[in-house]
Amino acid sequence: MRLRSEAGFTLIELMVAVGIAIFLTMAAVAFARHETKLMGISTDRLEMQQSARAALDMLADDIGQAGAGVGYGNASGNFGLVTDPLPGKDSFAGVRIDNFCVESVDGVGTRVCFNQDGTPIAYPGAADPGFAGTDLSLQTSDINTGAPRIATPYTLRTVDIGILSATGSYSTVADFAFGAVQTGQYCNDGDISFRDGELALIRNDVGDAARAILVQAPTAAACSYGQCLGGCTSFTVGTPPAIFYQNDASADSANFVAGELHGGLHATVWFVDDSDPSYDAGIGVLRRAWFDDARGCAARDSTCGDEVMPYVDTLQATIWEWDQSTQTWVNSGQEMVRDRTGQRHRLRVDLELVVRAKADSRTPRDALQLRLAPLCVPNFGSCPASKVDFTERQAYRTSIEVKNSGYMAVQ
Amino acid sequence: MPNVPPTLRMMNKPASPRRGFSILEAIVASAILGIGLIGLVRLHSASMHGLVRAQDTNAASEVARQIAERFSTLPPTAPELANCLPPPASPSGCRASYGTSGVLNPVKGGADCTRWVDGAAVTDVSSGNAGWPLPAATFGDGTPCPDNAVNCPGAYRVDISVGPHPDAANHPPPARLVNIWVCWRDPGGLVNELSTVRMIPGDL
């Protein structure tokens, strides 16, 4: 019988082959992990950019509507409409940054104050640098050396932004009568309508008297004076909690006939909530809260409003007013309220949102440099000396021109 | 051979075929493997180049957008708009030529019409009110990048020119048109450029 060939691999051959196979498999796995991680960083980065731009656009839209329908200060320094000022805390009738309180008319009249927690935010874990409220100091490091990139840390302020506007239906006041039960009429122009219980602003034709009201029981009716082409709607006046929207004193006896009625009166508040313990110190969630006759919130925390964007370092805002005489921008302080000089002012709000990626604070370029360190591929610049735990941030900015506040005629 | 021990019989038997790979086979196999590996490395390198390029382009787009938004808020009488009128002979844009040795155009005339900016840096928006919303870029040692620098690593060169609106009939002076160019060098040395335009209405 003929023997079968039994030539096989020797032990050495087998070990070498297995060793090479293991090496190649490990290299392939490492390559795949590397690619997957790089793709994850890229995805996180892209998500962060899109979220930041979307958040800024939404905030810009809100600020662009600031003061619409709300009114402005009168000769005595009052405003057409103000929110309840706490001692030492200003009210606002357009945009307000920093400290303020807002209250919803939800039957409870819950008041929420912003930037009132008094808890300083410091990064990176250092003591509060001594700025007021929630200011923070930010220091970035060089990727290659770990050394500070700037000699003096930036002084940043995480501010809360309150925006007051009436951007619902708008109509002419056809009639208004004071009395035990105050009543009024507004003109039916097109698809104008106010719902029962809607929080609205009514003001006289020259704009120096205004008050917040609840439009109740709107009913189609003949116009008292017949001046509205589309007919009229009668309503009774309900008074919202006085603590919320305070009326100008002159509004108690003003003649509102031929004035304006603005619906959809609301306050929108943007803030960075840093109460989530799962976040690093100094990092929070950008939230947007809405206050009107139906919505509000009970506290300035993670239950207030809707989450807009996670992993936010800080939100900065500054209000500028164009000085025509000096041809320069002047910081108009923390509040945007127009005076009654009759000039069309140019107002600008600058925003800066500082964010970082969810999974990795490194930019793709930085991550690439680090990962290419062992390879030192030409044309990619110098390889980093060591892997440092740096804290790169990405800042997104926008400038908004605000045109709504105080456009009415001069008295 | 009945008297021969079985072990010797086996020794006398012709050897089993233990033929290995020839040198030609080994060379071909190695070449195929090498080509595959080189292709993989090149693919990896290209993908990372693309990633960096996409990131830089995105950042440059943000830079252009932020500067355009700031200029859009300026009144037509703002000094910033009077400073950057391009001379007729001045080339447009900031990139003079494309390629691995691409060069930048000379600095534009007028005050503050060309600047290297750091797109990712954090600023304090309450500290200044100039028309530029972005901080000036610096070299790694903190030295400011001069306007005429050939390159400022990681930064973007922004050129601005302001001129009358070409449709003067519908947009008479002082309506202006602002051109914004953003240039940057990628890791391979290529000069990239993108631009945007904003109109500044003539009415206050």
Does any domain span residue A198? Answer: yes
Among A214, A241, A263, the domain boundary falls at: A263
Question: Closest-CA residue in chain A for B143?
Answer: A150
Q: What is the DSSP string of A176-210?
A: EE-SSS-EEEEE--TT----TTEEEEEE-TTSS-E
| Selected residue with higher pLDDT from A288 and A76 | A288
Rounded mean pLDDT of chain A?
73
Residues 6+ apart with CB under 8 A from A183: A175, A176, A177, A234, A235, A236, A237
pLDDT beyond 90 at A280: no
Q: What is the pLDDT of residue A164?
A: 83
**Contact partners, residue A196, CB within 8 Å, separation at least 6:** A215, A216, A217, A218
pLDDT surpasses 70 at A29: yes
Smallest Cβ distance to B123: which of A7, A392, A395?
A: A395
Å between B106 CA and nearest CA of chain A: 25
Q: Is residue A149 within 8 angstroms of chain B, CB to CB?
A: yes
Number of domains making up chain A: 2
Are residues A160 and A209 located together in one domain of the fold?
Answer: no
Buried b (16+ CB within 10 A) or exposed e, A250-275: bbeebebbebbbbbbbbbbbbbbbbe
Residue A204 domain-assigned?
yes
CA of A332 vs chain B CAs: smallest distance (Å): 11
- Can you give the pLDDT at residue A94? 75
A69 in any annotated domain: yes
Mean pLDDT of A95-112: 73
The residue among A207, A236, A263 that closes a domain is A263
Q: Is residue A159 part of a domain?
A: yes
CATH number of the domain to which A211 belongs: 2.40.30
A36 and A185 in a single domain? The answer is no
Has residue B131 got a pLDDT over 60? Answer: no
Residue A3 lies in a domain: no
Q: What one-character-per-residue DSSP string does B108-149 give?
A: PSSTTSEEEE-SS----TTS--SS--SPBPB-TTSPBPPTT-
- For residues A223 and A244, state if they share a domain: yes
For residue A13, the number of C-alpha atoms closer than 13 Å in the C-beta half-sphere is 5
Domain termination residue (choose one: A238, A263, A288): A263
* pLDDT of residue A74 exceeding 50: no
Give every CB contact of residue A34 below 8 A, 6+ residues apart in sequence: A371
User: Which is more confident, A149 or A274?
Assistant: A274
Residue A343 structure tokens: 């000039």
ipTM of this complex prediction, to 2 decimal places: 0.75
How far apart CA A354 and CA B1 sit, in angstroms, is 95
The pLDDT tens digits for A213-248 are 889 999 999 998 867 888 899 999 987 765 455 566
What does the pLDDT read at residue A270? Answer: 93
Task: Assign B63 to helix, strand or coil.
Answer: helix
* Closest CA–CA distance from residue A199 to any residue of chain B (Å): 32
Same domain, A296 and A411: yes
**A211, A246: one domain:** yes
Task: Give residue ranges of B with CB < 8 Å to any A CB.
Answer: 13, 16-18, 40, 44-45, 47-48, 51-52, 55-56, 58, 62, 66, 69-70, 72-73, 75, 77-79, 120-127, 129, 133-134, 140, 142, 153-154, 187-189, 204
Residue A141 binned pLDDT confidence (cut-offs 50, 70, 90):
low
The answer, yes or no, to whether residue A410 has pLDDT greater than 70, is no
Does any CB of chain B come closer than 8 Å to the CB of residue A42? Answer: yes
- Calculate the dihedral angle through the C-alpha atoms of B57, B59, B61, B63, rounding to the nearest 10 degrees: -140
Determine the structural domain holding residue A402 and report its residue range.
9-167+264-411
Examine residue A353 and state whether it is found in any structural domain, yes or no. Answer: yes
The answer, yes or no, to whether residue A379 has pLDDT greater than 60, is no
Instruction: Quote the CA–CA distance of B116 and B136 in Å, as a whole number.
Output: 6
pLDDT per residue over B52-71, tens digit each?
A: 788 888 889 989 998 888 88
| Pure H helices in chain B | 6-12, 23-72, 79-83
pLDDT higher than threshold 60 for residue A79: no
Q: Which of A316, A368, A401 sits opposite B125 (nearest CB)?
A: A316
The predicted pLDDT at position A308 comes to 94
Q: What is the DSSP string of A249-318?
A: GGGGS---TT-EEE--EEEEEEEEE---TTSPTT-EEEEEEEESSS---SSSSTTSSEEEEEEEEEEEEE
* Residue A357 and residue A231 share a domain: no
Give the mean model confidence (pLDDT) for residues A46-75: 81
The pLDDT of residue A391: 46
Contacts of B187 in chain A (CB under 8 A): 365, 379-381
**Do the chains contact at A328 and B129, CB–CB below 8 Å?**
yes
pLDDT band at A90 (very low <50, low <70, confident <90, very high): very low
- Phi, psi (deg, nearest 5) at residue B103: -120, 160
Are residues A153 and A22 located together in one domain of the fold? yes
Instruction: Select from A344, A365, A379 the Cβ nearest to the Cβ of B204.
Output: A344
- Tens digits of residue pLDDT in B159-187: 888 888 888 888 888 888 888 999 998 77
Q: Is residue A86 part of a domain?
A: yes
Q: Identify whether residues A136 and A152 lie together within a single domain.
A: yes
Q: What is the overall mean pLDDT for chain B?
A: 78
Do A152 and A275 belong to one domain? yes
> Same domain for A49 and A198?
no
Instruction: Verify that A270 and A257 share a domain, yes or no.
Output: no
Task: Tell whether pTM > 0.80.
Answer: no
